[in-house]
Amino acid sequence: MSDLPKPEDFAPKTYRPGSTDWMDVPAEIRKGIACYAGNPKSLEAVGLPNPRTWSCFDEDWQLPENWQQIIHEGFKERLEKFRSFKVFMDICVRCGACADKCHFFIGTGDPKNMPVLRAELIRSVYRNDFTKVGKILGRLGGARPMTIDVLKEWWSYLFQCTECRRCSVFCPYGIDTAEITMMGRELLNLLGLNIDWIATPVANCNRTGNHLGIQPHAFKDMLDFFVDDIEEITGIHVDPQYNKVGADILFITPSGDVFADPGTYTCMGYLLLFHFLKEKYGLDVTWSTYASEGGNFGSFTSHEMMKRLNAKMYREAQRLGVKWIIGGECGHMWRVITQYMDTMNGPADFMETPVNPITGTRFEHAKSTKMIHITEFTADLIKHGKLDLDPGRNDNLRVTFHDSCNPSRGMGLLEEPRYVIKNVCNEFYDMPANTIREQTFCCGSGSGLNAGEDMELRMAGGMPRANAVKYVHEKHDVNTLATICAIDRAALPDLMSYWVPEVEVYGVHEMVGNALIMPNEQERTTDLRGEPLPGMEEADE
């Protein structure tokens, strides 16, 4: 992060827009805030249009000759297909309630990062191409034709939006600005204008079942590694099942959890929990080396791609004949499942409405998708007193919780993760009310923007979140930021080391794994990271 400005130089000098009309201010596409172009091999692999080597920093983006026609027709098709899109184009009164709610606007001060203006970039073309007022009044009516500069502006600002939907919470009309970004990105994809941090995970997922391109034998190899580590720490040999036909429950988590720290410790937490439940209650859970990804970078590309990648989870559930699915600590997966799955690949009638066989709890809200979030499952177990927990083993952690955008705003999961944390940790402190729950501030790196080359943008967009963490760090000595999303676990460590270096990032089920007392376990001296447990520091030396 050596090219980054220092934290103290970061805050925007002003939030006041300049005097030039926004239509006359061209987008500045520069290093530090822009992502690299999609690798043509990845585009080709999934049949995305116009695969070629290009760079957003070049003048010539190597577009097809009829690119304006492609955008116009793609726009028209989507207005007809998605009523929400048409409504969102028409009903905004530009009241500005959303303007200062976006973390990218707060972090950069760039007026085009106000959600209202970001959407206006697209609306202005909509008015020009599809409304009478726009056709007659032109610029006076807020309309402008699609030009190469407008296209570049779209690209720049649609990839400075994490589709987090904080703005939509404040919109009096309920406009979902994230869906406008999604539509915009879908149109850009018609011209091959994706970024590599999205395009390559999509291609990998299509090929191997997960974003990282982990093949089945490697997937098992990685889990085996955790199994060995767990045995060293607890003396218990956990024995995960893979691709088991006839298992009761299929478990699917983001591949980041099996590959990247600190998600790998969360993964060890899942393994411990499932082993505990198998030993004590005979719970029959299987992992899949094919449906080995909960996340869906297709949703950052197009509806069609989202549907394609989502389908594999349900195909696998059908093939294995499981009753229902538990999904891991993932973010955008839950927006896809909760808001699109039902009409996209569902309803999944070949499965049963999830019922926790240990407690009898019926998860009625998942009767269409047949998938529940693991914190719902664990919270239910704790509520019924089914887990043996020693929260004292997490006493070195003073915890706050970052509501991941999609589980909170996309599925309303607010209470369960907190309930779990409060039962496995003794010290919990929420951040200020306007920065959590449905008003949570994004990590600044969601929707595929968690690349390395746009670090300045990520640190700017993550600043509001980091500020709230800093507040509880200073007030309550918080040293642990818990989260339930793999992008968070990948992105927040960078954000913390930049803004609040005293704070470490944890998954919720890592803390569950620390606290969970396994039947016949040896006396533990370390946590899942191999660090001495509270009170065991001397034993380590």
Partner 1 sequence: MPTVEFGGKSFTVDEDGFIDDYTNWNQEWVQYVKKEEGIDELNDEHQKVITVLREYYEKNGIAPMVRVLSKVTGFKLKHIYELFPSGPGKGACKMAGLPKPTGCV
Question: Using CB under 8 A as the criterion, which residues of the chain lie in contact with partner 1 when the complex forms?
Answer: 36, 39, 53, 55, 196-197, 200-201, 204, 210-215, 217-218, 221-222, 225, 229, 254-256, 258-261, 263-264, 295, 297, 450-453, 486-487, 489-490
Torsion of CA 133, 139, 145, 149, to 10 degrees: -150
Tell the smallest beta-carbon distance from residue 36 to partner 1 (Å): 5
Whether residue 166 contacts residue 151, with contact meaning beta carbons closer than 8 Å, is answered with no
From the CB of residue 287, how many other CB atoms can be counted at a distance below 10 Å?
23
Q: At what angle do helices 67-81 and 83-91 cross, to 10 degrees?
A: 100
SS3 label, residue 215 = coil
- For the chain, counts of helices (H) and of strands (E): 25, 8
- CB closer to partner 1 out of 13 and 217: 217
Whether residue 100 contacts residue 106, with contact meaning beta carbons closer than 8 Å, is answered with yes
Tell the smallest beta-carbon distance from residue 435 to partner 1 (Å): 23
Query: What is the residue type of 406?
Result: N
Tell the smallest beta-carbon distance from residue 360 to partner 1 (Å): 34
- CB closer to partner 1 out of 225 and 281: 225
- CB closer to partner 1 out of 31 and 362: 31
Of the candidates 494, 493, 519, the residue with the CA atom closest to the CA atom of residue 265: 493
- CB closer to partner 1 out of 41 and 237: 41
- CB closer to partner 1 out of 211 and 470: 211
Tell the smallest beta-carbon distance from residue 204 to partner 1 (Å): 7
Residue with tokens 């203006």: 117
Tell the smallest beta-carbon distance from residue 205 to partner 1 (Å): 8
Outline where 355-433 has alpha helix (H). 374-383, 405, 411, 415-424
- CB closer to partner 1 out of 236 and 490: 490
The verdict on whether omega for the bond into residue 347 sits within 30 degrees of 0, i.e. cis, is yes
Tell the smallest beta-carbon distance from residue 424 to partner 1 (Å): 23
Residue 155 tokens, joined: 């690209």
Tell the smallest beta-carbon distance from residue 383 to partner 1 (Å): 29
Of the candidates 509, 365, 295, the residue with the CA atom closest to the CA atom of residue 423: 509
From the CB of residue 168, how many other CB atoms can be counted at a distance below 10 Å?
21
Tell the smallest beta-carbon distance from residue 37 to partner 1 (Å): 8
Beta bridge partners of 73: none
- CB closer to partner 1 out of 79 and 306: 306
Outline where 159-255 has alpha helix (H). 166-170, 177-189, 196-208, 216-234
- CB closer to partner 1 out of 477 and 540: 540
- CB closer to partner 1 out of 23 and 218: 218
From the CB of residue 140, how many other CB atoms can be counted at a distance below 10 Å?
9
Of the candidates 443, 366, 375, 451, the residue with the CA atom closest to the CA atom of residue 405: 443
Tell the smallest beta-carbon distance from residue 260 to partner 1 (Å): 4
Whether residue 302 contacts residue 339, with contact meaning beta carbons closer than 8 Å, is answered with no
Of the candidates 88, 67, 92, the residue with the CA atom closest to the CA atom of residue 142: 92
Tell the smallest beta-carbon distance from residue 535 to partner 1 (Å): 24
Q: At what angle do helices 83-91 and 177-189 cross, to 10 degrees?
A: 120
- CB closer to partner 1 out of 105 and 265: 265
